[in-house]
Amino acid sequence: MDPTKTPAMHPPPGVSPDFNAPDPLHAVNVFSIIFCLSLCTILLAIQLCTKKLLMHGLLLEDYVTILGWVVFVPYCGLGLQLVYGNRGNKHQWDVSIAQMAGFANIANIVCIIYVLLMLMIKSAVLLQYLRIFVPQRNRSFYLAWILIGINIVFNIGLALTLAFQCVPRRKIWAPWLPGRCINVGATLMISAVSNTVTDFATLLLPMYTIWNLQLPLKRKLGISAVFTIGLFGCAASLVRLVFAFELIRSEDMTYLLAIEYHWALAEITSGMVCCCLTCFPKLCRHLAGQAKRSLGRITNPSSAPSPHHSGEQAKVLAVQHRQDPYMELDDLKTSSTGSSGREQWWMKKYESGVESGV
């Protein structure tokens, strides 16, 4: 039996295997992978530059996000390898046994990377939530850390399960070898279910805190916008869940896993974008202030501040940043004086912003 000429799956009745069948979604697949990686890279670069130059520098969640991006690069690279290897998005009867071996090897690595990526992204989002919205140890503080702990334990356990799903490991891409394997479809379904549940939990926890603050509706909507981008990730995880159930009932892994890969790509991109948007209000306000001052100097040169005044103003801003190093999300922060004190702080901040035209 020639593995280069034998199909990896028996075709349905009346269908002939075609190893040279083109991928009708080749261009779309390549574009989606490159677009998602480029978008995350640009937003992360803006986030890091803003925090380094305008704010307090990098914090723990920023390093977790950077680590997630580093892992995201090979995830996209392996996706392109599947596309250009002419193995993904094809029915398994149009793939030879030799091609299937390469697909199974790459698919296993991609699944492991995905699990680790979701661990990093959700941890980064929850760490941001803890720093911005939970200044003291209350119920939300413990819920967030419990969720982080569940993510760490479950995803690391799942990654190890996927890595050693067959004994010997080579049996993953060479199923004819002697040995034993667990049910891959069931493992992927558990992964999809767990990630869907934790996706919604990671999204709902910050939203619950935001909408329980005594703030105007417009203000709540503005703050929520940063986190509601995670809704796209939740929707993508639900679609992944549907394909995970399909994988249990079907042996057509090359076709179903390729589709699931792109929904996982959308879920990861949504999470990365959510991690990178917390500093954008600060950046936009800084750029708007710079534009306003530049326009003021052009229209009214006599009102331009003196160098001495600019230096004093810079010193004041530097002191403010040292005293309050967590001014982020449009200077959002909570007070440690309790619930009513926190809401009063937010209202003062809002009113002062309206009066000053910010």
Q: Taking all residues of the chain, what is their mean pLDDT, rounded to a whole number?
A: 77
Instruction: Label residue 119 by pLDDT band (50, 70, 90).
Output: very high
Residue 305 is predicted with a pLDDT of 52
Mean pLDDT of 162-175: 89
Nearest residue to 271 via CA among 106, 108, 128: 128
Mean pLDDT of 337-343: 45
- Is pLDDT above 70 for 358? no
Instruction: Label residue 319 by pLDDT band (50, 70, 90).
Output: very low
pLDDT tens track for 79-118: 888 877 656 678 888 888 888 888 888 889 999 999 999 9
Mean pLDDT of 308-318: 49
- Is pLDDT above 60 for 222? yes
CA atoms within 13 A on the CB side of 342: 18
- Is pLDDT above 90 for 63? yes
Q: pLDDT higher for 59 or 4? A: 59
Q: pLDDT higher for 36 or 8? A: 36
Instruction: Label residue 354 by pLDDT band (50, 70, 90).
Output: very low
Residue 265 is predicted with a pLDDT of 92
CA distance 144 to 39: 28
- Is pLDDT above 90 for 357? no
| Spatial contact of 101 and 174, defined as CB atoms under 8 Å apart | yes
For residue 287, count other CB atoms closer than 10 A to its CB. 11
- Is pLDDT above 90 for 10? no
Task: Pull the structure tokens for residue 65.
Answer: 């996000």
What domains does the chain contain, in order, with CATH numbers?
Answer: 26-280 (1.20.1070)
Task: Pull the structure tokens for residue 262.
Answer: 């792109």
Nearest residue to 240 via CA among 73, 110, 72, 126: 110
CA atoms within 13 A on the CB side of 233: 28
Residue 302 is predicted with a pLDDT of 58
Neighbour-count burial of 276, counting CB atoms closer than 10 A to its CB (0-12 exposed, 13-18 middle, 19+ buried): buried
Instruction: List helix spans (H) across the chain.
Output: 26-54, 60-84, 97-133, 139-163, 184-211, 217-228, 230-249, 253-276, 280-299, 307-323, 339-356
Instruction: Label residue 312 by pLDDT band (50, 70, 90).
Output: low
- Is pLDDT above 90 for 349? no
pLDDT tens track for 245-300: 887 788 888 888 888 888 899 999 988 988 888 777 777 777 777 777 777 777 76
pTM: 0.78
pLDDT tens track for 127-143: 988 887 777 788 888 88
What DSSP designation does 94 have?
G
Instruction: Label residue 146 by pLDDT band (50, 70, 90).
Output: very high
